[in-house]
Chains A and B, each alone.
Chain A
Amino acid sequence: MKSLLKIENVKKTYGKTSNAYTALENISFQIERGEFVGIMGPSGAGKSTLLNLLATIDTPSEGKIFMNDKSIHDMKEAALSDFRRDNLGFIFQDYNLLDSLTVKENILLPLAITKVPAKEIEKRVQKIAKVFGIEALLSQYSYQISGGQKQRTAAARAIVTEPALILADEPTGALDSKSATDLLESLSSLNANNESTIMMVTHDAFAASFCRRIIFIKDGKLSKEIYRRDQTRKVFFQEILDTLSAIGGEVDDVI
């Protein structure tokens, strides 16, 4: 089977040639279907830039990104929109929920966009709400619920369309440890039970320990790659910490 995502020699520079800043350089890796990949690295390493490139809201300066063997940055605007709609789900650090819609409406927004029939929408929303434990909140407005509940809503919105790839940008960044654990466990079980492919950017070793594979980035370059295999989460957590101190990431930053 072919890889879901293939990233080839991607480079991203910002600014004019005179004082250009290289955010990413020589990045190549692949993600297979059903993987749960974490991207780690200290602040400013280029994690979010990489995610923006995958999210197609930014374009690489050099190199190509293939998804299902299609170069996503060579697509036309309309095709790109369809591609995002059908293949990608996003979870942001700051949730990006619409305050004027209820939790339910926020979750069904992408389904409404894809013109799924109302009956089907209802079914899917109920199902995904159960996964994230937010059934009781469905009729509330997003400004009425807590940060952890907002993030679970955002995750539900990302997943409700059953996208080929879920992109999560520091999803636990603003959450307390209980909410973070709840969310990560939901993502983890989605990955295990539904074979959803998830790529999560984080600088938090605890969050990363839920992943199956972790790619480390430092100063815009790939630095190391580790697999969880059949280790327990605790052991994997320790391995992540060790790797981080080995490659010289700021240990302060990861605790």
Chain B
Amino acid sequence: MTLFSLARRNIARNFSQYFLYIASMVFSIVIYFTFVTLKYSDIVSKMTETSQKMGSLMSGAAVVLIFFVAIFIAYSNSFFMKKRKKEVALYALLGVRKRQIGLMLFFENLLLGVFSLVIGIFLGFLSSKLFVTILIRLMGYDVVAPFTLSTEAIINTAIVFFIIFFITSFQGYRLIYQFKLIDLFHASKKGEAAPKPSWIVAILGLLSIGTGYWLALQNLLTSEAWRILGMFTPLVILATVIIGTFLLFHSVTGFVLSLFKRREKWLWKGLHLMTISQLLYRVRGNARTLTVIAILSATTVTAGGAVYSLYYNINDSVKLADPNTFMYKQAANVDNDKVTSLLPATIYDENVSALFVTFEAKQLESAMSIDEDKRIYTVIDETTYNKLAKLQHKEELQLIDNKATIIDVDYHENLSPKYAGKTITAEKGTEITLKGYHDVPVLNFKAGMTLVVTNEHYKELEKQGEPVQFRAIGVDDATIDLSKGIASSLPDEAQFSSAPEDYQSGIEGMGSLLFIGSFLGLVFLAATGSIIYFKVLTEAEEDKSQYNMLYKMGVSAKEMRKTVASQVCVVFAVPLIIGLAHSAVALTAFSNLFSMDFTKPVIIWMLAYTTIYGIYYVLTVYSYNRIITQNNKNEG
């Protein structure tokens, strides 16, 4: 019997210990393999061929994934190694050479890696089918997902994970060299230094986070801070928030807990003493872990929330861009009858008269405008606007004081010109004064910037501009096929615009973004949950003898469950709350930038995140309790 066969036997019998580690590796591989399979799949590669954006998005996401997966595996590896220190020390004491132990750990780790890789790729193959189906659904395609095993994906995954495993295995090899033998023996006994919270550090932490928040909420264009820091601002925000979060966990939590410790009336009741002391004892050593969790949560919620909000708003943006289901400009070679013959029952079908008028518009210069003095507006009169508004179930417009109004759906307080009171002049001298802007369009986006003028002004302008006729059609439940049919019977000059078509392309673009966003979100969430799970369960292993002592002292199982639940709750809830706060700020900044209202989708997204996160909490508390009860049963 050789040492290696004993070591192998040790793996087989210690499977429960190895299981968590292998499971976390398999999990990482499944996620990564699924992602690369999608990347190399026909559907996605067709998409990436047509859209440069999509290609770079996929590659970017892959890099983020690799980075993440590497951190995650390194993390579970160090947990795993910590558990084995004593075994390693025993080998050393029995006279196995360091090099031999190192090699053993190295190969063992590599073997576990290869084993996980095989399982991971197999499971990943199954799950990629599921994900391709989801992706296709989200993008509104109607095809069955092809079930193919991509060799490229396998090679890619194998290479990436071999590198990761090689590095972690090398860490295992170094374990024996890094520590003195006596430290290895006492590794599990060593306590964490009691935290010494300091006011200064706590305040520094709060200040740092405050600075980050303040910078993020600054106006991009007018802020002095952004002007000075320039391109580095996002980095500065990131750094201040991360450092602040760390200091927060490092000191502020210590403070709060010591405050609890002073309230003896409350503290000396039941197991409160145990709960607070345990948390206090662990909190400093956990500052780094808690920071990682908070930042991961923030990233996940922010990225997912932003993408989901955009997706959620597609319908609204299409409604703004295409208030009419179909619209086109009359031209010489347009066959109106043919279009009519294609149409199903319509809600309305109107011919709209408008004018293309060139204006002198020096007054409308703004931060974003290029020096353009002449602008062409599509002019319609008040009557036309109100007729269409009525058909589209929108409020009618009342022009007063002979002033006109401009339709600007993308109005942005800082980027758009200030319209109110400004005067623009047509080429032949008609002056139009603007009342302001209005964000309810009646013509499709392709008609151009619309100016609504009084009927009198319209008559005056008729001689100064080029008259055009638009045909605006409203249809319920228009399909993409109908839209394609009409489009093919119209010449290019008709500038056909269609709500279903724009909706489709919006969904295609955003759908894949949403998919990548939620996929990465899922990965981060699962990993965040797993990190806490790992951490808490390692602590449970360390603390089980304490609970056994409590059990012997006559503490009821119910009370122990309560203290465990509240300890774990703090570990879960505190980083979640801070992560949500970070992402709320980030998403506010984001929605300011896009001037869209994200409240509802962001709340939905946060609730979804919190729910899954909550499931992890329940699972962790359950496992913790199981470890304790199992131990109490064994120890009697």
A residues with a Cβ closer than 8 A to B are 52, 55-58, 77-78, 81-86, 88, 90, 96, 98-101, 105, 108-110, 112-115, 118, 121, 143
Contacts and interface: CB of A to CB of B under 8 A. Distances in A.
Contact of A57 (B3, B13, B181): B181
Q: Top 6 A-B pairs ranked by shortest CB distance?
A: A85-B95, A100-B13, A84-B95, A57-B181, A81-B97, A100-B14
Contact of B94 (A52, A113, A115, A121): A113
A77 B99 CA distance: 9
Given A84-B95, A86-B95, A112 B1 contact: yes
Given A81-B97, A109-B6, A113-B95, A52 B1 contact: no
Contacts of A114: 95
Given A81-B92, A84-B93, A85-B96, A98 B3 contact: no
Interface stretch (B83-91, B357-365, B604-612, B622-630): B83-91
A56 B98 CA distance: 14
B102 to A, nearest CB: 11
A113 B3 contact: yes
B1 A110 contact: no
B2 to A, nearest CB: 6
A108 B1 contact: yes
A121 B9 contact: no
Contacts of B94: 84-85, 90, 109-110, 113
Given A81-B96, A86-B95, A100 B182 contact: no
B166 interface: no
B274 to A, nearest CB: 25
Interface string B1-25: 1110110011001100000000000
Nearest to A85: B95
Given A57-B182, A118-B1, A121-B1, A110 B10 contact: no
Given A86-B95, A100-B14, A101-B13, A52 B6 contact: no
A121 B3 CA distance: 13
Contacts of B98: 77-78, 81
Contacts of A86: 95
Nearest to B89: A57
B2 A98 contact: no
Interface string B49-77: 00000000000000000000000000000
A230 B95 CA distance: 37
A96 B95 contact: no
Contacts of B96: 81, 85, 113
Given A100-B13, A100-B14, A112 B93 contact: no
Contacts of B90: 96, 98
A83 B93 contact: no
Contact of A105 (B6, B91, B97): B6
B13 A110 contact: no
A57 B95 contact: no
A113 B91 contact: yes
Q: Which of A55, A81, A99 has the most chain B CB within a 10 Å cutoff?
A: A81
Nearest to B10: A100
A90 B91 CA distance: 12
Given A58-B182, A105-B9, A112-B6, 13 more contacts: A57-B182, A81-B98, A96-B86, A96-B90, A98-B10, A100-B9, A101-B13, A108-B1, A109-B94, A110-B94, A112-B3, A113-B94, A143-B634
Nearest to A55: B93
A44 to B, nearest CB: 16
B226 interface: no
A92 B562 CA distance: 37
Contacts of A108: 1
B131 interface: no
Interface of A is mostly: helix
Contacts of B93: 55, 57, 84, 90
Contacts of A110: 94-95
Nearest to B16: A100
Nearest to B12: A100
A77 B97 contact: yes
Nearest to A108: B1
Contacts of A121: 1
Contacts of B10: 98, 100-101
25 contacts: A52-B182, A58-B180, A58-B181, A77-B98, A81-B92, A81-B95, A84-B94, A84-B95, A90-B94, A96-B86, A98-B10, A98-B87, A99-B14, A101-B6, A101-B9, A101-B13, A109-B6, A109-B94, A112-B2, A112-B5, A113-B3, A113-B95, A114-B95, A121-B1, A143-B634
B603 to A, nearest CB: 49
A42 to B, nearest CB: 21
Interface in B137-190: 180-182, 185
A114 B14 CA distance: 24
Contact of A115 (B2, B87, B92): B2
B99 A57 contact: no
Q: Which of A52, A109, A114 has the most chain B CB within a 10 Å cutoff?
A: A109
A86 B182 CA distance: 20
Contacts of B1: 108, 112, 118, 121
Contacts of B95: 81-86, 88, 110, 113-114
B20 to A, nearest CB: 15
Contacts of A85: 94-96
Contacts of B91: 113
B182 A78 contact: no
Contacts of B634: 143
Interface string B547-564: 000000000000000000
Nearest to B99: A78
A89 B5 CA distance: 22
Contacts of A56: 181
Nearest to A111: B1
A81 to B, nearest CB: 4
B96 to A, nearest CB: 5
Nearest to B4: A112
Q: Which of B3, B91, B92, B95 has the most chain A CB within a 10 Å cutoff?
A: B95
A82 B90 CA distance: 14
Nearest to B100: A81
Contacts of A101: 6, 9-10, 13
Q: Which of B9, B93, B97 has the most chain A CB within a 10 Å cutoff?
A: B93
Nearest to A112: B1
Nearest to B101: A81
A134 to B, nearest CB: 19
Contacts of B181: 56-58
Contacts of B99: 78
Contacts of B13: 100-101
Contacts of A109: 6, 94
A96 B87 CA distance: 9
A107 to B, nearest CB: 12
A90 B181 CA distance: 14
Contacts of B2: 112, 115
B245 to A, nearest CB: 33
Interface in B389-421: none
Nearest to B184: A57
